[in-house]
Structure 1
Amino acid sequence: MKKKLWMIFGPVIVAIAALLILLWAPINFKTVTPQKVRQAATSLDIRVLKGESVKNAAEKENYIPIIGSSELSRMDPFHPSSMAQKYHWKNKPFLQGNPGTASLTQAMNVGGMTNLKGNKAVFIISPQWFSKSGVAANAFQYFLSPLQLTGFILKSNTGDKAMNKYVASRILELGVSKGQIEDDALQRISEGKQITSFQRFYIKTFARSSLKNQDDLFGSISMKDHEQMIQKASSQLPDDYNYKDLNKLATKLAKHNSRDNDLQIGDSFYRKELRKRIRTYRNTHRHVKYTSSPEYNDFQALLYMFAQNKVEVMFVIQPINPHWVKYTGMPKSSIINFDKKIKYQLRSQGFNEIVDLSNVKNQNYIAEDTIHMGWRGWLMLDHHLKSYYQDKKANPENTQYHMDSYFLSNDWAQNKNVTK
């Protein structure tokens, strides 16, 4: 009888035991190959965003991260990944973002990228993040990485105390729960206390160790593969780089791919998302404002993570389709005032590399849909990235940041005036 039971349950028990050993054993699994890194660079796989091993491996190679949200999935011929491949940029983009990611998610992401220290990055800012309520709790909960969270908890006794209190409080406010011990540790940090020795021991020895092994083992298996999409897109580009010629091509392709509407929105997006209910959007954004939002405080947390590691960052202010702005009745002042406020928060603290695409003279075909760059918008950004990507090391002169705790205050988040 015992033998029969063992024959039935024995293999299951052995498999579980083997898995537990793999997850908790102090073994350094080296499963991230250069080929995996190349695939991950354009995959936009959520495991890459929430993990650490693949991104840190990429930082040892010729990649510079482009961090943002859903715009990164608009992979037309002028997407930075397409341009980098066609024109053999010395360093290639490593895409990090998904629909729903915003400042706080990316702050945790950047905090876990230990090899980013002293290097460059690109960060795309979306005005629509800065709504009255800020990031949706369910979106933040979905994208928060338990691995990155444990890293933050273990480093919470160093760095800026007010910032650590803010991040911990904000995570708790957004309803995140990753386990009783982790929750209690976050509560202590939010109160300005250090975590207990038991919390540190448990999180470091068991929780984080297991999560790191999971990331090493499974973080790059069966990733989404967009390499063929990038290859197909880049094949439409001319062999020689000439900005004027490329601008003409971008306009031509944009016109061809947005024939179903007069809003300069890509046909595929228009048919799927807008055509049946387009009239319901007319004048619906008359009262939209982007100057009062908790997102400004979350954005400050992101800036702190960059500053702490002396990362040189090119910030890109993403455009909103001007025809969509007019159709929905959004006041132009909403974009202008947001533009002033976010640039003040950046420049007053030493983040001076800003590509502002929200205010260019010729805005035709700058966006592929309503709020995301495409066609000419990507090309305008590529023009700046081309030289920026020549060297991945940060210029120390461009990382002389001076952080101001005022930008963590509710007064700044809700203040419609630009200055203090």
Structure 2
Amino acid sequence: MKKKLWMIFGPVIVAIAALLILLWAPINFKTVTPQKIRQAATSLDIRVLKGESVKNAAEKENYIPIIGSSELSRMDPFHPSSMAQKYHWNNKPFLQGNPGTASLTQAMNVGGMTNLKGNKAVLIISPQWFSRSGVQAEAFKYFLSPLQLTGFILKSNTGDKAMNKYVAGRILDLGVSKGPIEDDALKRISEGKQITSFQRFYIESFVRSSLQSQDNLFGSLSMNDHEPMIAKAANKLPDEYDYKDLNKLATQMAKRSSRDNDMQIGDTFYKRQLRKRINIYKNTHRHVKYTSSPEYNDFQALLYMFARNKVEVMFVIQPINPHWVKYTGMPKSSITNFDKKIKYQLKTQGFNKIVDLSNVKDSNYIAEDTIHMGWRGWLMLDHHLKSYYKTKKANPKETQYKMDSYFLTNDWAKNKNVTK
């Protein structure tokens, strides 16, 4: 009888025991190969975003992260990943973002990238992040990485106390709950207290070690594979880089791809998302403003993570399709006032490398759809990235940041004027 029971349940018990050993044992699994890193760089896989092992491995190689949101998935021939492949940039983009990711998600992401210290990064800023309500709680909870959260908790006794209080409080306000011990630790941090010895021991020895093992084992398995798409897009580019010729080609491709509407929106997007309900958007954005939002405080948390690690950052303010702006009735002041406010927050703290695509002289085909870069917009950005990507290490002169706690205040978040 015992033998029969063992024959039935024995393999299950052994499998569970083996899995527990894999998850809890302090073993460093070498699963992140150069091929996996290359695939991950364009995968936009959520496990890569929420993990640490793949990104930190990439930081040891010739990759510079481009951090953003849904625009990164617009992979036409002029997408930075296509251009980097075709024209053999010294360093390649490593894409980090998904639809719904915003400043606080990316602050946690950057905080977990230990090998980013002293290197370069690119951050694409979307004006629509800065809505009146800020990031949606469900979106933040979906993208919040338990691994990155444990890292934040364990580092909370170092760095700027006011910033740690803000981040912990914001996470709790958004309704995040990861367990009684983690929740209480966050509550203590939000009150300006250090976590207890037991909390540190439990989170470090049990929770984080298990999450790291899971990340090492499964973080790069069966990722999205966009390499064929990138290769196909790169093959449409001429062999020699000439900006004027590429600009003409981008315009030609854009015209061919947006014949079904007069707003220079890609036909595929227009047919799927807009054609049947285009009329409901007429003049619907007359009262949209991007100058009063809790996102400005979340954005400060992201800036702090960059500053703490002496990361040189190129900030890109991406455009909104000007034809869409006109059709929806959005006041031009909504964009120009946002532009002034976000630049003020950046420049007064020493973040001076800004590529502003929100107000260019020739904005034709700068966006692929309503609010995302494409065609000529990508090409304009590539023009700046081409030289930026020649070296990976940060220029120390570009990382002399002076962080100002005023940008964590409610007064700044709701302030419609630029200055204090």
TM-score where L is the length of structure 2:
1.00
1:412 match: secondary structure: helix
Counterparts of residues 228-243 of structure 1 (less than 5 Å): 228-243=228-243
Structure 1 equivalent of residue 392 of structure 2: 392
Q: Distance in 1 between matches of 2:99 and 2:7?
A: 47
Aligned with 1:314: secondary structure?
strand
1:262 corresponding residue in structure 2:
262
1:180 shift after superposition:
1.1
CA distance in 2: counterparts of 1:15 and 1:185, whole angstroms: 33
Separation (CA, whole Å) in 2 of partners of 1:3 and 1:381: 68
Give distance in 2, aligned partners of 1:5 and 1:326: 73
Separation in 2 of the partners of 1:8 and 1:280? Answer: 61
Deviations 1:66-105 (A, max 9, x none): 0000000000000000000000000000000000000000
Aligned AA (1:419): T
Shift, 1:178, TM fit: 1.0
Q: Name the residue aligned to 1:318.
A: 318
Between the aligned partners of 1:124 and 1:18, the Cα distance in structure 2 is 43
- 2:288 paired residue number: 288
Distance (whole Å) between structure 1 residues aligned to residue 354 and residue 240 of structure 2: 27
Deviation at 1:359, TM superposition (A): 0.7
Whether 1:21 and 2:21 are equivalent positions in the alignment is: yes
1:65 is paired with a residue whose SS is: strand
**How far, CA to CA, are the matches of 2:274 and 2:191 in structure 1?**
46
Secondary structure of the equivalent of 1:288?
coil
Q: Within 5 A, what are the aligned runs for 1:12-411?
A: 12-411=12-411
Cα separation, 2, equivalents of 1:293 and 1:119: 30
Unaligned runs of 5+ in 1: none
Classify the secondary structure of the residue corresponding to 1:221: coil
Amino acid at match of 1:27: I
Deviation at 1:251, TM superposition (A): 0.3
User: SS of the residue aligned with 2:403?
Assistant: coil
Distance 2:316 2:344 in 1: 14
Counterpart Cα distance in 2 of 1:327 and 1:404: 38
| SS state at 2:93 partner | strand
Q: Is it true that 1:414 corresponds to 2:414 in the alignment?
A: yes
Post-superposition Cα deviations, 1:304-355, rounded to whole Å, max 9, x if no partner, equal 0000000000000010000000000000000000000000000000000000
Distance across 2 between alignment mates of 1:7 and 1:177: 41
Deviation at 1:7, TM superposition (A): 1.1
Alpha-carbon distance, 1:179 to partner: 1.1
Deviation readout 1:5-63 (Å, 9 max, x if unpaired)? 11111111110110001000011111100010000000000000000000000000000
Q: 2:206 is matched by which residue type in structure 1?
A: F
Q: 2:5 & 2:102 partners in 1: Cα distance?
A: 52
* Poorly superposed stretches of 4+, deviation over 6 Å: none
Partner letter of residue 231 of structure 1? A
* CA distance in structure 1 between the aligned counterparts of 2:231 and 2:174, rounded to whole angstroms: 40
CA distance in 2, matches of 1:411, 1:16: 53
CA-to-aligned-CA distance 1:131-183 (integer Å, 9 cap, x gap): 00000000000000000000000000000000000000000000111111100
CA distance in 1, matches of 2:17, 2:40: 31
Q: Alpha-carbon deviation of 1:268?
A: 0.4
**CA-CA distance at 1:4 after TM superposition:** 1.4
Superposition deviation, residue 3 in structure 1: 1.6
Aligned partners of 2:247, 2:290: CA distance in 1, in Å? 30
Whichever residue aligns with residue 141 of structure 1, its letter is K
> What residue number does 1:3 align with?
3
Paired with 1:9 and 1:403, the residues of 2 have a C-alpha distance of 59
What amino acid does structure 2 have at the position aligned with 1:101? T
SS, match of residue 319 in structure 2: coil
Q: What secondary structure, in the 3-state scheme, does the structure 1 residue paired with 2:293 have?
A: coil
Letter matched to residue 163 of structure 2: M
Q: Write the distance in 1 (CA, Å) between the matches of 2:191 and 2:16.
A: 39
Q: What amino acid sits opposite 2:46 in the alignment?
A: I
Q: SS of the counterpart of 1:37?
A: helix
Structure 1 residue matching 2:307: 3-state secondary structure: helix
Over aligned residues, Cα RMSD in angstroms? 0.4
Instruction: Give the whole-Å Cα distance in 1 for the aligned partners of 2:268 and 2:9.
Output: 52
Supply the distance in 1 between the matched residues of 2:5 and 2:135 (Cα, whole angstroms): 52
**Paired letter, 2:331:** P
Partner amino acid, structure 1, of 2:60: K
Equivalent residue letter for 1:43 = S
Quote the Cα distance in structure 2 between the aligned partners of 1:17 and 1:179.
Answer: 24
SS in 2 for 1:7: helix
Any idea what SS the aligned residue of 1:303 has? Answer: helix
Amino acid at match of 1:362: D
Percentage identity across paired residues of the two chains: 88
Q: How far apart in 1 are the matches of 2:4 and 2:318? A: 65
CA distance in 2, matches of 1:204, 1:3: 40
